[in-house]
Amino acid sequence: MQEELTLSFILEKGLDNINLIDVRSPSEFIHDNIPLSVNVPLLDDAERALVGTCYVQKGPKDARMLGVDIISPKLPQFVRQIMEASKNHRMTVAYCWRGGLRSGSAVGLMTLTGVNIFRLQGGYKVFRNHVNDFFNDFSDEYSFINLHGPTGSAKTHVLRSLESEGLRVLDLEKAACHKGSNFGDVDEPGYETVNQKNFETKIWHTFYNKGMGVYLVEGESMKIGRVSIPRKLFTRMNTCINVVADVPLDARIRFTVDNYKPSLYIDDIRRSLDRLKRFIGKSGVDELSKLLDVKDYETFTKILLESYYDPLYRRSIPENPDYVIRYENIEEGKKQLEQIYMENQTS
């Protein structure tokens, strides 16, 4: 069999049917990686920097020899990690940045140990180009039902409940590790490592897994936290079906308190509140802060919804939505949205 495999072959075979080994450094892997891959780095971040500096100062030959010196003591551990990842007898494929020295070294070494392993032609770079092309030439075979609603409408919970039952859902907030509000990074432990590349990879992976057809998605602004929805995807979403959730204020207060868990994340909420000074003034922030002091989370939430979030929402709500649904709990909203989804399902 050939030593190199193309990305198209791997995607057709199925990512979940292949052991993908990313031999890049940990920081490269965290920045973005091919979904379901395992990081088994040849060089850690500090070692990679040393080799890179040597390459610039002394040239490629000295840099390669330095790499050999660094890697040699770690070879037994490196081999064992790849053998562990390969013991399920699936095809194993290694990749680095562009299918060059690092993945080639890994393939050569593992072949000597009797492990059948291949290299991804073009490495991570060819995968990144594939994701870029996917969004730049976004297929019209994908369509959307956008769920809009004021803050606290439990839209995310309704969508995730439907996703758990097998409906196609594009969970943009999960990919962004952000709830799409000023307090959106509260209780989102993955937020610090989110960037535009890994955000787009997560979205691409959803489409790859679930295929073409109609998707439920939360109506969002183009920017979510620190990332932005790819432009052609965002444009497509805005030309599709719009559903508006009409939820009573008391239910929205209850949903919001349950969702943000102020008793557990009070410090994070205070930091987020401080960012609202330019919108509601110092006196407004001071008033809300006092409510946090006495743990009156319901009044705190009511004031924020009525004085800050609702005016913003009224400026963004679709003027002529295709559907309006009314509910006071997640189950009611779920049933109504599922019915709309089934009415508009084309594949």
Rounded Cα gap, residues 141 and 143, in angstroms: 6
Predicted local distance difference test score (pLDDT) of residue 180: 82
Neighbour count for residue 270 (Cβ, 10 Å): 15
Place of tokens 């040239």: 59
DSSP helix/strand/coil, 208: helix
- CA distances in angstroms from 144 to 147, 204, 235, listed in the order given: 9, 15, 11
The domain spans of the chain are 4-131, 142-343
Helix (H, G, I), strand (E, B) or coil at 185: coil
pLDDT in the model for residue 101: 84
Residue pair 238/189 in contact (Cβ under 8 Å)? The answer is no
- What pLDDT shows up at residue 113? 83
Q: Specify the long-range contacts of residues 177-184, CB closer than 8 Å, at least 24 apart.
A: 177/225, 178/224, 178/225, 178/226, 178/227, 179/259, 179/260, 180/218, 180/220, 180/221, 180/224, 180/225, 181/151, 181/309, 182/272, 182/275, 182/276, 183/260, 183/268, 183/269, 183/272, 183/273, 184/224, 184/225
Give 142-343's CATH code, choosing from 1.10.287, 3.40.50, 2.60.40, 3.30.420: 3.40.50
pLDDT tens digits along 161-176: 999 999 999 999 999 9
- Can you read off the two tokens belonging to residue 298? 């319901």
E strand or H helix at 170, and its extent?
Answer: strand 169-170
Active site residues: 96
Please say whether the beta carbons of 55 and 63 come within 8 A: yes
- Calpha distance 257→239 (Å, rounded): 33
Q: How far apart are CA 7 and CA 127, in angstroms?
A: 7
Distance separating alpha carbons of residues 63 and 111, to the nearest angstrom: 24
- Model pLDDT for residues 180-231, shown as the tens digit of each residue: 888 888 888 899 999 999 999 999 999 999 999 999 999 988 999 999 999 9
Measured CA to CA, the distance from residue 250 to residue 194 in angstroms comes to: 33
Question: Hey, how many other C-beta atoms are within 10 angstroms of the C-beta on 260?
Answer: 22
Q: What is the pTM of this model?
A: 0.91
Fold that domain 4-131 belongs to in CATH: Oxidized Rhodanese; domain 1 (3.40.250)
Q: Residues in the chain with pLDDT < 70?
A: 1-2, 346-347
Q: Give me the pLDDT at residue 346, please.
A: 60
Tell me the C-alpha distance between 344 and 341, whole Å. 5
Closest by alpha carbon to 252, among 140, 333, 319, 178?
A: 333
